[in-house]
Amino acid sequence: MKFLKKIKFLVVHHSQKEDDSLERIKNFHVNERKWEDIGYHYIIDKKGKLHKAREEKFIGAHVFGFNRESLGICLLGNLDKEIPTKNQIKTLVKLLIKKAKENKISSKNILGHREFPGVTKTCPGKLVNMNEIRKKVKEHFSTKS
């Protein structure tokens, strides 16, 4: 596997299935898509538990053209049909704050998959408000200054 370069983006996804799991996604990526590993670096389940997926030092497989400079974070569930749980959002924001701080990433570079050029998917789901998530991350940093 190739190593990630400087991380410039934090990318939020959803698994698109209501009853998904880390194991199912890894099986799909490795055995069906024939990738070297799961495409995402982190998975957040509906209870808000954070699962490490692909090692952070390796390039992910989650957003075409930007994998070399981004971390992929996947929320389990079909977030076109179901609202992410409060615990998922809480864990997501906490992780985004941590990774933004570690990598000196502005909140404007925290994006949903759909916000990248050429993407026609709704990912991370119609019911995920990326502006609200960026606002929560930005508020954290503005209260720390």
Q: Where exactly are the structural domains of the chain?
A: 9-143
Residue 141 pLDDT: 83
Residue 143 pLDDT: 72
Residue 144 pLDDT: 60
Three-class SS of residue 100? helix
How big, in percent rounded to 5, are the helix, strand and coil portions of the chain? 35, 15, 50
Partners of 58 in the β-ladder: 3
Q: What is the mean pLDDT of residues 116-144?
A: 93
The Cα–Cα gap between 50 and 41 comes to 11
CATH value of 9-143 in 1.10.1060.10, 3.10.129.10, 3.40.50.2000, 3.40.80.10: 3.40.80.10
Three-class SS of residue 8? coil
Residue 118 pLDDT: 94
Please work out, in degrees rounded to the nearest 5, the angle formed at the alpha carbon of residue 134 by the alpha carbons of 131 and 137: 150
